[in-house]
Amino acid sequence: MDEFEFFGNLSLGQYLPGTSIIHKLDARVKLAGATLLLVALVISTSLAATLFAMIILLCLTRLASVPLRNTVRSLRPIWPFIILMVVFQLLAFPGSPADNCYTLWQWETVRLTNCSLHLAVLSLLRLVDLVLLINLLSLTTSLNEIIHGVEHLLRPLGRLGLPAHELALIVGLSLQFVPLLAEEAERLMKAQAARGADFGRGRWGLVQRIRRMLPLLIPLFVNSLERSEDLAVAMESRCYLGSRGRTHWVQLQGRPRDYVVLFLLIVFSVILIVAPLP
Amino acid sequence: MSQPQPFITVRSLSYCYLRGTPLETPALRDLSLDVTQGEIVGLMGPTGCGKSTLLQHLCGLIHPQAGHVWINGVDLADPSTDLRLIRRRVGLVFQSPEAQLFERYVGDDVAFGPRNLGLDRPIVRQRVKDSLEAVGLDFAVFKDRLTLTLSGGEKRRVALAGILAMEPEALLLDEPTAGLDPRGREDLLNILRQWQTERHLSMVISSHNMDDLAYLADRIYVLYKGQNAFDGTARAVFAQPMRLQELGLEAPAMTALLATLADSGLPVPRQALSVNEAADAIESLWRAHGRI
């Protein structure tokens, strides 16, 4: 693996063009469905349901012909975090006997119970599920589709004074800048490595890594502020005035299959939440 | 006398971006190249032909996927090679390096490299002084200037000084004159030439600007779609304007002018690289026709 490639592992905003049914699905359905599933996954406390969701998500990823490698790679950067969390939950939440928790293994004050085990496995599965879900959404939905979808979904809230168009624009621009920033960070890192900077490794790897980030952040910020200013000027010079009187090139049109998928996703989310599974 | 030792050797180097994804893009294919000690080699080719990728290989920022890169006998494809040591010996000036300054003061920015080398303070100071002066900036005036207050041309010089201060054995430059005004361009070319004459180091320069390469390069490699389209001395390469045009490139203005004259049947050499040479050729043409 390349030393500077870790920015390439960012899955956010990396759209893989394709022709699968998931690619062709209406963006609104995908966004709403993903949000629903996300909520359901967070609420659900059932191991079986979470595992079931994982299988479904893996099948959908397969259906979208996203290479498995891509999925694995998107999980890589968060492994340390997941492991830390699992260990913490294993040891810190033994639960009480009143909740039917019994000790499985004990050493000094460290106690492992069935409850903490359950919690740890659950949060592990849940996190992987969430990554899979977000990965699937961002790999199969182009930025334009996301922007239009968000705008359409937020439009009803416009009556309450919520600026739907502007919010969608903000979402779109920030997503658009993620890969750009990553690219730029990579270029800066390389430029500094060419001047003898050493990114990580060694005994004080972590400390050094953090210290090395500072000279990276400064030009990154300066350049992105400059870029956003340029962008604002470019938009204004093309008479951008916000949502008022603005029509769209892309008209989202729901087809029967979109409604079917949305219905299925709602049913699936409800099952996840209310299922009487262990 | 024995043949000069190649300082940089590249053999059948290939590289793909985003390998193993649907977005896989080949950047280099089976490329070979040699740079001898003290030689200035130009890289030329249309946008996206792999110039920048090649330069990043040459200073150990990218690990070769297939093929070999040797820097002074060290094989970069060998996993046990410490690429960080190579990066200290070969300096790469990135495209628009002025966007990469990060210290508050010019002096600190130039000192970033030498400090990373772990040099003592007086030596760092000396190197900052030497390299700032080499790029034509007065040490006493500029070392305490804020980097944000510099002009574009000054920033680029400071960035160049930052690499020169590492005192690399070979210097790689990616589009060094892009976006500079004619005056700034000329100054920069002279700085590079001067530094090269004094230190006798190898240089690899990529450029869109044919006149730059005509002025600086001993030899030129023309890249096309990641492959070596053809190479030769600057004269030999620029003497083939048709071939360059096929690849979407143009010969330097002077060479093009002489080629037009020669094509219309006038006895002029096709291989002039500078304004002076072209002027001489045209003057002798006038003399021969008895107009002066």
Confidence of residue A243 (pLDDT cuts 50, 70, 90): confident
| Residue A206 structure tokens | 């972590």
Burial class (CB in 10 A: 0-12, 13-18, 19+), A210: exposed
Task: Tell whether A196 lies on the interface with B, counting CB pairs under 8 A.
Answer: yes
pLDDT(A30) > 50: yes
Q: How far apart are CA A134 and CA A228, in angstroms?
A: 26
- Those of residues 73-102 in B touching chain A at CB distance below 8 A are 83-84, 87-88, 91-92, 94, 97, 99-102
Kindly list the domain boundaries of chain B, sorted by start residue.
6-100+167-248, 252-292
Strand partners, B93: B173
A72: chain B residues, CB-CB within 8 Å:
none
CB–CB contact B163 A218 (8 Å): no
B61: chain A residues, CB-CB within 8 Å:
4, 190, 193-194
SS (H, E, C) chain B: CCCCCEEEEEEEEEEEECCCCCCCEEEEEEEEEEEECCCEEEEECCCCCCHHHHHHHHCCCCCCCEEEEEECCEECCCCCCCHHHHHHHEEEECCCHHHHCCCCEHHHHHHHHHHHCCCCHHHHHHHHHHHHHHCCCCHHHHCCCEHHHCCHHHHHHHHHHHHHCCCCCEEEEECCCCCCCHHHHHHHHHHHHHHHHHHCCEEEEECCCHHHHHHHCCEEEEEECCEEEEEEEHHHHHCCHHHHHHCCCCCCHHHHHHHHHHHCCCCCCCCCCCHHHHHHHHHHHHHHCCCC
The predicted pLDDT at position B17 comes to: 83
Kindly list the domain boundaries of chain A, sorted by start residue.
11-150+253-278, 179-242
A227: chain B residues, CB-CB within 8 Å:
none
> DSSP code of A113?
E
The predicted pLDDT at position B3 comes to: 57
The predicted pLDDT at position A1 comes to: 38
| Min Cα–Cα distance to chain B from A9, Å | 10
The predicted pLDDT at position B1 comes to: 43
Burial class (CB in 10 A: 0-12, 13-18, 19+), A206: exposed
Walk along chain B (292 residues) and give the pLDDT tens digit of each residue. Answer: 455 678 899 999 999 887 766 677 888 999 999 999 889 999 998 888 889 999 999 988 888 889 999 998 888 888 888 888 888 889 999 988 888 888 889 999 999 999 988 899 999 999 999 999 999 999 999 999 998 889 888 999 999 999 999 999 999 999 998 888 888 889 999 999 999 989 889 999 998 888 888 889 999 999 998 889 889 998 888 888 888 888 888 778 778 888 888 888 888 877 777 778 888 888 888 888 776 5
CB–CB contact A194 B116 (8 Å): no
Task: Tell whether A70 lies on the interface with B, counting CB pairs under 8 A.
Answer: yes
CB–CB contact B84 A196 (8 Å): yes
Phi/psi at A112 (5° precision):
-110, 125
C-alpha angle B38-B41-B42 in degrees, rounded to nearest 5? 155
Confidence of residue A27 (pLDDT cuts 50, 70, 90): confident
CB–CB contact A219 B84 (8 Å): no
DSSP reduced 3-state for A53: helix
The partner residue sitting opposite A195, judged by closest CB among B83, B99, B116, is B116
For B109, other C-beta atoms within 10 Å of its C-beta total 24
**Mode of pairing for the β-strands spanning B25-36 and B40-44:** unpaired
- Mean pLDDT for the stretch of residues A115-143: 88
- List the alpha helices (DSSP H) in A93-163: 114-140, 143-154
Please tell me which residue of chain A has the smallest CA distance to B165. A195
Q: Which residues of A96-128 are buried (b: 16+ CB within 10 A; e: fewer)?
A: eeeeebeeeeeeeeebbbebbbbbbbbbbbbbb
Whether the Cβ atoms of residue A165 and residue A151 lie closer than 8 Å to each other: yes
The partner residue sitting opposite B87, judged by closest CB among A2, A193, A215, is A193
B88: chain A residues, CB-CB within 8 Å:
196
| Residue B106 structure tokens | 């010019």
Q: Which fold has domain B6-100+167-248?
A: Rossmann fold (3.40.50)
The predicted pLDDT at position A203 comes to: 52
CB–CB contact B84 A193 (8 Å): yes
Sole residue written with tokens 């892309």: A250
DSSP reduced 3-state for A20: coil
Q: How far apart are CA A158 and CA A201, in angstroms?
A: 51
- Mean pLDDT for the stretch of residues A75-94: 82
Interface test with B, best of A195, A212, A214 (most B CBs within 10 A): A195
* Amino acid at position A28, single letter: R
Task: Tell whether B67 lies on the interface with A, counting CB pairs under 8 A.
Answer: no
Q: How far apart are CA B96 and CA B113, in angstroms?
A: 18
| Min Cα–Cα distance to chain A from B140, Å | 23
Percent of chain A at pLDDT exceeding 90: 11
Question: For chain A, what is the mean pLDDT?
Answer: 81
Element (H, E) at A105: strand A103-107
pLDDT tens for each residue of A187-222: 888 888 888 887 655 555 667 667 777 788 888 888
Task: Tell whether B15 lies on the interface with A, counting CB pairs under 8 A.
Answer: no
Indicate whether this complex's ipTM tops 0.90.
no
CB–CB contact A219 B97 (8 Å): no
C-alpha angle A97-A99-A105 in degrees, rounded to nearest 5? 50
